[in-house]
Amino acid sequence: MLLLSMLRTGYRYWRGQRPHVEDMEQIARYMRNRRARGLLAVPASLAGQMRGFGGSRTSKRVEELQTRKLRKTVEYVYRYVPFYHEAMDAAGVKPIDIRSLADVHKLPITRREQLCENGSAFISRYPGLIPAVAVQTGGTTGKPVQVCMTNEELQYYAVGEAITGMMTGWLGPAEIMQRHFSSEPSISGTIITAAAHKAGTLVIVPDHSDTLDDHVESIFCERDIPGKKRKVSLLMIAPPHLWALTRRAEEMGVDFSQSGLHRIQTGGATVTADLKQRVLDTWGIALHEGYGVTEAFTVAAGTCDQSERLHFTDMTGYAEALDPKTGEPVPPGEPGVLTITTFYPDRELMPLLRYWTGDLVILSPERTCACGIPTTQIVRIVGRVDHMVTVGVRNFYPQAIGDSLLGFAELVLPPRFTLRTEQRRDAQYAILDVEVKEDISAGERERLVQRIQNGIILSRYWEVRIGVVNLVVNLHSPGSIEHPFPYKHADLVLKQREERPLTGE
Amino acid sequence: MLLLAMLRTAISYGSGRRPRVEDMEQIIRYMRQRRERGVGAAPSSRAWRPERWAVGNPDRVRVLQARQLRRTVEYVYRYVPFYRQAMDAVGVKPADIRWQEDVRKLPITRRDQLCEHTEAFISRYPGLVPTLPVYTGGTTGKSLEVYLTTDELRYYAAARAISYLRGGLVGPQSIVQLHQSLDNSMEGLITSMAGRLAGALVLSIGDKGTLDDHVESILKERHIPGKSTKVTGLVTPPSHLWALTQRAEEMGVDFQESDLKWIITGGATVSEDLRKRVSETWGVRVFEAYGLREVVTGSAYQCPRSERLHFSDTGAYAEALDPQTEEPLPAGRPGVLAVTTFYPYRELMPFLRYRTEDLVVLSPDPVCVCGRSTTQILDIVGRADYVILVGENTFYPQAIGDSLLAFRQLVLPPRFALRTEQRQDAQYVILDVEVDHPLGPREEHQLRQRITKGIVFSHHWEIQCGSVKLEVNLCPAGSIARPFPYKHQWLVLDRRGD
């Protein structure tokens, strides 16, 4: 049965089809049992063959597979996804026009506003698909974007992650994971937890009422659970939280060599070189960075083992960098807006064509990375082309921030403000500059600052409460903020985005 | 294949074994497809209720329970270090336990023991892998941790999905709004997994948003292919349901515009007032669930035809004990509920006679008015200890006292009492605490505010969103007649005896 499952899974992968979850579950069980016996997830001979299979992946073969999947995706969305049927008809493109990757530019670009306003039109009408999971991310209009998936998709992603984690050796029944990504409605938290459970890993999620001290203590706490390591071995955490946690651990005078951590994985925000170095100097291990956007989560990128680049899994999607103004592809090596096409059937309920992430990146001109894998690589994440600000792991658009400032009558209304973040020695700082109507006394100023700190949307989150993110509010006289964030007019967001220089972030 | 899956599942239930999850998932797929076609989840034949073959016949229930009990005792004696030692200490061998009457020979498990020797309660049966911790308040101030395996979690979710589908509560058209945390809470996770298996779209609100957001989410129109346009089911703790209803009234919503068909509560008991209020506003029935996080399988659910709560007697054995002598009490008299969870439904951490400290009255009549033969809770009278339920979370004096230690103006170690009251707008948690010396009005105000922000439960989502409100009363030193026991474990036990 196991052999049959393995053969069927291998064949379906090779054909560009999604394997059966039941087959993958059986493989995951087999790997888990081997790991529980202290063995590698798969016998060394088989691992060698699999490495051989991976190594034999040439640029040309990847491109062929991508082309096949792209054609299949375009046919599928044209037939079953109302939004794309309409958009392709409007652009005069038929599935037959898409024969190679070079034809991608004929396809319409999908923007976050469209997903936000017309979410249901992005859901496939393929018979038998049942939306069962809804995850949310910040929306440009202040309303969150809702992304749905089926239960089968969730199980597939989770078991896929479990198999990968066990094969690369970081997931297994002896491991204890401390996870700081919040669970639903966040996609990474949901999938990573389900994957860890399938691999037999114990997942500890610190309570939101815990402090940074509790988080540090939990990492060093000795646990006596049969079959498990004695201390937390995996840490899943957002970069600002990792920074603050490391700082707090230093202040507490912990002996980092006493930690049982052998992997730290970050996600939700970009990692600075300072943080990487700090983690290496303290915890003594390299940081594993993950890049992805919730809306197109099947096309995520992970750190290369031998370079600073981020690898895409080209099997599940197609990534391109576009000129922020013209929407045309930029030459590799030039900064452009990352745009992602998620392939069917890896993404079945809500596949996206050319999703405009708003992230400004530089893709590698080389198809083959320094580590020898032929894949699309992000050389650098330059910044954003819109006014979205990531605080902790949460994305905030001007609309949501402005809405939460409306309650303060002392402010210029509608609010004129800017928000930026800075990583300082102790924590990440979210700095809000906002205009007040007229001069107010020092005491009133202080009280207003405090009220804003307590009442603004950012303050609701636990990252602010426990000191992972510190909120600073600066009050300014009317008209003194030169380039306030666009607020109350969605078209202004788009207009200012166009006016903004590329290096503005 | 479906027939085989059904047969295997029925045989497993009939012989007291846990069915294969893969078989159950196949049955769920079939039921879901039927619901999609607009027909009942299963044909009405009795063959579709294999786990309930015995429920109408007290003798069969008794025989099945005795078999499960024997198997559980054999299992824990062999694989669970704590029970091996405890049974040896009282001179009981598995062979001594033949029928329900023999249960009294078994040792009683207390929360303190579980808190202090958690690892000794974990089964050493080969191949069991703990993956999911569940936390609940501990008597010593430290959270009590129990564990589940992934296979157990999947089984509970599949069993609940079948029950949802068959009862018509959830199906592929449903949208369920869930106000239970999915982190460290087994109940929320199982509900969410079960809902998804049954094909529902599960909106896990958890600790996000305000009461206004929660009300709006219920009434919001969604245009998701194949789904109802609005939320059809709500899962929430009673205190939150109360505040949510109050807020909806204040917002002037037209309750008739809601598509809610049912509300399930858990984590605390439901008052008559709440039932009435929900019926008058949302116009739907509240289904109450009773259970303890650490016991997992020993849950009770509301009878569809009465106010009683039914135990699933095939998954656990429930008894009411005298709080002082710990001898079983005749049914009909209030006693402390003790639960024995049966293997293999609870495999990683099965419990023998777990003392819940909930004072309940069990029905003397083994057959309920609905015709089912099962243990029934007639009334939950109260607690035999000082635990306080804030929203859906339990707090012991130790944890509350620890969080008051930082306030130097208080009598130290803190002397305090805590109670909850359901008022018109929300549940109120009222903390009376003694101050060391008289304070000025400004100082009093500041101290109250600091305590409100700093006390252990102030960061829970129910308090953050206003469904539970905190009131702090500062009292003169020595004025609280019966303060909660704090800092002395023996005092807790001693007072419990009172």
* C-alpha gyration radius of chain B: 23
Residue A132 has pLDDT above 50, yes or no: yes
Domain B388-497: assigned CATH number? 3.30.70.1350
Selected for mutation to probe chain B from A1, A130, A188 (highest B CB count within 10 Å) is: A130
Q: Specify the pLDDT at position A185.
A: 55
Least confident of B7-16, B45-54, B57-66, B465-474: B45-54
Residue A424 has pLDDT above 90, yes or no: no
Q: Which residues of B fall within a CB distance of 8 Å from A177?
A: none
Rounded distance, CA B134 to CA B152, Å? Answer: 13
**Better pLDDT: A85 or B10:** A85
**Better pLDDT: A56 or A303:** A303
* CATH 3.30.70.1350, chain A: domain bounds: 389-504
Q: Specify the pLDDT at position A199.
A: 96
pLDDT tier at B45, thresholds 50, 70, 90: low
Least confident of A337-341, B2-6, B486-490: B486-490
Q: Does B81 reach chain A within 8 Å, measured CB to CB?
A: no
pLDDT (tens digit, 9 = 90+) per residue, A172-192?
A: 999 999 998 765 556 878 889
CA distances to A27, A221, A272 from A214, in Å: 37, 10, 25
pLDDT (tens digit, 9 = 90+) per residue, B417-436?
A: 888 888 888 888 899 999 99
Nearest beta carbon to residue A197 from set B131, B196, B197: B131
Q: Specify the pLDDT at position A504.
A: 34
Q: Which residues of A fall within a CB distance of 8 Å from B151?
A: none
Residue B140 has pLDDT above 70, yes or no: no
Residue found under tokens 């393929």: A126
Chain B residues 128-167 with a CB less than 8 Å from chain A: 128-133, 135, 147, 150, 153
Selected for mutation to probe chain A from B178, B179, B183 (highest A CB count within 10 Å) is: B183
Residue B47 has pLDDT above 70, yes or no: no
Q: Specify the pLDDT at position A171.
A: 95
CB contact under 8 A, A202 and B131: yes
Average pLDDT (B63-70) is 92
Residue B488 has pLDDT above 60, yes or no: no
Least confident of A406-410, B19-23, B290-294: B290-294
Kindly report the average pLDDT of chain B as a whole number.
Answer: 86
pLDDT (tens digit, 9 = 90+) per residue, B348-384?
A: 999 999 998 888 899 998 888 888 888 999 988 777 7
pLDDT tier at B167, thresholds 50, 70, 90: confident
pLDDT (tens digit, 9 = 90+) per residue, A189-242?
A: 888 989 999 999 999 988 766 788 989 999 999 999 999 999 999 999 988 889
Count other Cβ atoms within 10 Å, centred on residue B271: 12
CB contact under 8 A, A183 and B204: yes
Q: What is the DSSP letter of A399?
A: H
Residue B451 has pLDDT above 60, yes or no: yes
Which candidate, B383, B412, B420, places its Cα nearest to that of B477?
B412
Rounded distance, CA B58 to CA B77, Å? Answer: 28
Q: Does A503 reach chain B within 8 Å, measured CB to CB?
A: no
Selected for mutation to probe chain A from B20, B80, B150, B393 (highest A CB count within 10 Å) is: B150
Q: Specify the pLDDT at position A493.
A: 40
Average pLDDT (A102-131) is 93
Q: Specify the pLDDT at position A50.
A: 61
Residue B174 has pLDDT above 90, yes or no: yes
Domain extents for chain B?
1-48, 148-383, 388-497
Residue B50 has pLDDT above 80, yes or no: no
Yes or no: domain B148-383 corresponds to CATH 3.40.50.300: no
Q: Specify the pLDDT at position A438.
A: 79
CB contact under 8 A, A226 and B124: yes
Rounded distance, CA B374 to CA B316, Å? Answer: 11
Q: Which residues of A fall within a CB distance of 8 Å from B132?
A: 197, 202-203
Burial readout A63-76 (b: 16 or more C-beta within 10 A, e: otherwise): eebbbebbbbbbeb
Average pLDDT (B292-317) is 83
* Torsion of Cα atoms, A203 then A197 then B79 then B313, to 10°: 100
State the amino acid at position A357 in one-letter form.
T
Q: Does B208 reach chain A within 8 Å, measured CB to CB?
A: yes
β-strands B262-265, B233-236 pairing? parallel
Q: Which residues of B fall within a CB distance of 8 Å from A227?
A: 128-130
Q: Specify the pLDDT at position B284.
A: 93
pLDDT tier at A108, thresholds 50, 70, 90: very high
Q: Does A183 reach chain B within 8 Å, measured CB to CB?
A: yes
Q: Does B406 reach chain A within 8 Å, measured CB to CB?
A: no
pLDDT (tens digit, 9 = 90+) per residue, B208-249?
A: 778 898 999 999 999 899 999 999 999 998 888 988 999 999
CB contact under 8 A, A203 and B124: no
Which CATH code, of 3.20.20.10, 3.20.20.70, 3.40.50.2300, 3.30.70.1350, is assigned to A389-504?
3.30.70.1350
Instruction: Return the number of CB contacts < 8 Å for A and B.
Output: 104
Q: Does B222 reach chain A within 8 Å, measured CB to CB?
A: yes
